[in-house]
Structure 1
């Protein structure tokens, strides 16, 4: 499965998935109300304290996951800097980092099965409309499972391209990655059918 879980057991693991996801939703809404740099700084300091309270190893693992945001943050800051609104860009970036950091905290400390069971329960009212909640939960699990697999295949294709050409691969690998995704989807569908499907 996707390696988003924490490398160490923390106190947050003992909280129910519903409580953590509710806290993520509430925290994200509250973060949107913060409009000052000082307020965003307090939010980020609180988030950092929550990570560090569970140990340096846990905080470093979270930092590695959140560090993937830097290109987006850079674009936001450059744009706001160009328009002369550095402070507004910093507030927007800080709120985004806080919301994603909060979601990462919940994801790292919640088993995928618990999240999917919660999603299935939350989607249960859709059964009255003829929609199968188990199918949606399974689709969510498959997306989470195959995202890193697809990224790994894309990285392998880029490496193969670099071994054969001095030019950058660019959009040339989009079609092979798409075909690999379709091939994986077909194999998973056949495996599900062979096991009785849903």
Structure 2
């Protein structure tokens, strides 16, 4: 499994984790009230400038991590083009990109351990039992760490297919990708079992 935290130091790395997570929640809530392409583009521009604060290399790294979202953007845009609601589709896409981009920025500049510690403290204040808190924190950790790994393996499968044929892979990669995911899940389950279970 891999970490999403960027090794390129930025001013955001020193910000308190709670402040970043609360800010992300408020931003995500606010961005879904946007109903104008102009305002949405302006917000997206601000998020892009926030990446540039970390430098060009950091911004490029963040851009690469956003590639999986482009599939959703394409599907959403195609649907809105088909139903004749292009402007509405553009607003939806700008909302999605702005929210995901800022979430990605927070993830890149915050250690996973710090995020989980904040989540555990929040659950404790809600009265959740320690055992359930640990399980929920473990679930979050697995999702955050496995998502980029699965994206990476999916890309490797596509490259292997293209090296062997000029035909588009399409649905043919679904089964091998599912088998890879199941294999990873079994390995993690065995590792957890060897360490005494899921706490």
Q: Report the TM-score when normalising by structure 2.
A: 0.82
Cα distance, 1:35–1:57 mapped onto 2, change above 3 Å: same
| Rg (Cα) greater in structure | 1
Aligned pairs (5 A) from 1:1-198: 1-124=1-124, 125=126, 127-128=128-129, 132-157=132-157, 169-197=169-197, 198=199
8 Å Cα contact 1:7/1:61 also seen in 2: no
Number of equivalent positions: 197
Secondary structure at 2:68's aligned position in 1? helix
CA contact 1:2–1:144 (8 Å) conserved in 2: no
What's the Cα RMSD here? 2.7
Q: Which structure has more RCO (C-alpha within 8 Å, separation ≥ 6)?
A: 2
What is the distance in 1 between the residues matched to 2:196 and 2:177?
29
- Aligned mates of 2:68, 2:187 — CA distance in 1: 30
Rounded to whole Å, the distance in 1 between the matches of 2:160 and 2:76 is 33
Over 3 Å counting, the alpha-carbon distance change for 1:173 and 1:93 in structure 2 is closer
Kindly provide the CA deviation profile for residues 62-102 of structure 1, in whole angstroms up to 9, marking residues without a partner as x: 12222432232223223323333222221111111111111
Partner of 2:110, secondary structure, is: coil
Alignment check: 8 A CA contact 1:37 1:90 kept: yes
Q: Deviations over 1:86-143 (max 9, x none)?
A: 2222111111111111101101100111111122222233534x85111111122122
| C-alpha distance in 2 between matches for 1:48 and 1:106 | 13
* Unaligned ranges ≥5, structure 1: none
Could you list the per-position Cα deviations for residues 118-176 of structure 1 after superposition, in whole angstroms to 9, with x for gaps in the alignment? 22222233534x85111111122122233344444445555666677776554444344
Q: 1:162 to 1:50 in 2, by over 3 A?
A: closer
TM-score (norm 1): 0.82
- Name stretches of at least 5 consecutive residues in structure 2 with no aligned partner: none
State the Cα distance separating 1:56 from its structure 2 match.
Answer: 1.2
Tell whether the 8 Å contact from 1:126 to 1:133 is kept in structure 2 after alignment.
Answer: no
